[in-house]
Amino acid sequence: MNGNSPGKAAVESDVELIEMDDVEDRAVPPMKSSEIPVAANNTRQPRVEDEDESDDDLDNNEGERALLSSTRQRTVHYFPPAHSGSRLQRVRDTWPRVRGIVIESAPTLLLTTISLLFSGKLLDQVARWRAMREVDQLIMIIPAVLNLQGNLEMNLSARLSTAANIGELDDPAVRRQMILGNWTLLQLQAISVSFIAACISLALGQLLPRPTLPPTIGIPSTNSTMPALAMRSLIEHIDPRKPIPHIPLEAHHANTGLATILMVTTTAMTSAFLSGLILASFMCFLILACRRFNLDPDNIAPAVASCLGDLLTLCMIGLVSTLLIPLLHTPFPFILGIAVVVIAVFCLVYTLRNPHVRPLILDGWSSLFGAMIISSATGIVLDVFVSKYEGFAVLAVVISGLPGATGSIFVSRLSTSLHAAKFAITHPTPSASIRILETSPRLAMFTLLAITIPVEIVFLGILSGLGWLDMPLLFVVFSILFFCFAVFASLVIARWLTNWLWAKGRDPDVYALPVHSALMDLIGQLLLVLCFEIVSAMGAKIKTRSLS
Q: What is the pTM of this model?
A: 0.71
360 touches 368 (CB < 8 A): no
131, pLDDT greater than 70:
yes
The Cα-based distances of 82 to 96, 184, 429 in angstroms read 18, 47, 22
Name the residue with higher pLDDT: 254 or 415: 415
- Write out the DSSP string of 168-224: TTSSHHHHHHHHHHHHHHHHHHHHHHHHHHHHHHHHHHHHS------TTSSS--TT-
Amino acid at 324: L
The pLDDT value given to residue 333? 92
What residue spans define the domains of the chain?
108-537
The Cα-based distances of 141 to 50, 86, 327, 366, 380 in angstroms read 55, 59, 19, 20, 18
d(C-alpha 97, C-alpha 167), whole Å:
20
| Residue closest to 21 by CA, chosen among 412, 437, 428 | 437
Taking each helix axis from N to C end, the angle separating 508-537 and 473-503, rounded to the nearest 10 degrees, works out to 150
Residue pLDDT, tens place only, 7-53:
444 434 433 444 444 444 444 443 444 444 444 344 444 433 343 44
- Work out the mean pLDDT of the chain and round it to a whole number: 73
The pLDDT value given to residue 308? 82
316 touches 141 (CB < 8 A): no
Mean pLDDT of 409-433: 76
The pLDDT value given to residue 285? 92
Rg (CA), the chain: 25
Bridge partners of residue 38, in order along the sequence: 44
Name the residue with higher pLDDT: 17 or 270: 270
Residue pLDDT, tens place only, 170-223:
888 889 999 999 999 999 999 998 898 888 778 876 775 554 433 333 333 323
Residue 83 CB: number of other CB atoms within 10 A?
13
d(C-alpha 471, C-alpha 452), whole Å:
20
The pLDDT value given to residue 179? 93
The pLDDT value given to residue 86? 67
